[in-house]
Amino acid sequence: MWDELIHLVCISLSPLGFEVRRITPREVSGRDWDGFLWLGNGDGLQPFADAVAGLGRNRPPTLLWQLDPLPPPDLPPEAEEIGLRVARWDEGPASASLRRIVSRLIPFRRQWIRLARSWGLRRLENLGPVGREFAQPGGETVARLSRYWNFIRRETERGTLDQVATSLPTRLEFLRRRGIRVMELPLGFHPAMGCGADGKDGKLVGPRDCDVVFLGALRHTRRPQLLRTLRAEWKRRGIRFLAVDRHCFGQRRTHLLRRAKIVLNLNTVPWDMPGFRFLTAIGCGAMVVSEPIRDPTPFRPGEHYVEAAIPQLPDVVEHVLRDEAGREAIVAAARSFLETEHSWDHSMLKLGSWFHAHSAVSARRV
């Protein structure tokens, strides 16, 4: 996903007059850049942050486009601190060489981390409804989302990160409540997210021979148990179901989604939504059926996709499969919405405007 998005950013900003390059941390100080765009969630960005810190006060502006979930906005301070503590245990020392030394000197380090996560989850579960909700996806997710937040907090305080951009209201609200400069930057739809297996946007090549497809991570989530139950029920009803959880990107993902009539969404966390899954599914002509999403902005249930609680999903999916005309109408409305109101071009214009506004000179080299 990240390689695809970085490529799209590069080819989309160039026509707007930018010279865009994907660089390594060593190249940060190699020339006079007008700005830095960090794309992702903080994982793997620490070497870039350290290199930017080395530029001193005259460094160019830096924007992080946060495209993964953060903790829930109304997480109480005590629960937030527990999450950050779990994240620090996961991260270990900042230096890679120190991490290697620690892994050799501390026996059973992984087992200790698992015990620490369990301790953190128990503490969270005792901190009211929001704490329990944060703990529910499991220790791996608590650590991961807290790690993303810890990176933003740390680099903002250090002065290497000027602003965060994010696409969803829940992430905006989380950061605003904590005093982080943040702006809305939607993850818009690019035709490449739904192109055919031949690399061109066009009519379907081959039949839609998969009734329902789920594409997403299964490890350390609640999804495997849910999918086992749904798979058994759909098999009993003669509904063809396929779940793929790894090694499915680019053209391989496009080919799979263009075989699907329905793409199933099961939330990783209840307060956030997987925008990229919606973009690729709708772009490939499949209809999204999802468990309820607390805030599905910018999508509207019943108009751009269909929502149903887990116990009702088998019945709803069966009904949707029978109603081909209704299904195709929702897909057409969703695709039209993406192309007109939620396009990638709109996102790139806003991104380019930020660099022009925050650079000492008219930004060109990003």
Q: Give the sign of the dihedral formed by CA 6, CA 182, CA 188, CA 16.
A: negative
**pLDDT tens digits, residue range 271-297?**
998 889 999 999 999 999 999 999 999
Q: Report the distance separating Cα 212 and Cα 223, nearest Å.
A: 15
Decide if pLDDT at 350 tops 60.
yes
pLDDT tier, 143 (very low <50, low <70, confident <90, very high otherwise) = confident
Instruction: Report residue 175 as tokens.
Output: 């950061």
pLDDT tier, 363 (very low <50, low <70, confident <90, very high otherwise) = low
Mean pLDDT of 66-84: 92
What pLDDT does residue 89 have?
73
Beta-carbon contacts of 293 under 8 Å, excluding residues fewer than 6 positions away, are: 265, 267, 273, 301, 307
**What 3-state DSSP class applies to 284?**
coil
Give start and end residues of each alpha helix (H) in 178-272.
Answer: 223-236, 250-257
| Cβ 289 vs Cβ 306: under 8 Å | yes
The pTM assigned to this predicted structure is 0.87
What domains does the chain contain, in order, with CATH numbers?
A: 1-188+343-366 (no CATH), 191-340 (3.40.50.2000)
What pLDDT does residue 31 have?
76
**pLDDT tens digits, residue range 294-332?**
999 999 999 999 999 999 999 999 999 999 999 999 999
Decide if pLDDT at 98 tops 90.
no
| Cβ 294 vs Cβ 235: under 8 Å | no
Decide if pLDDT at 99 tops 80.
no
pLDDT tier, 196 (very low <50, low <70, confident <90, very high otherwise) = very low
| Portion of the chain with pLDDT greater than 70, in percent | 88
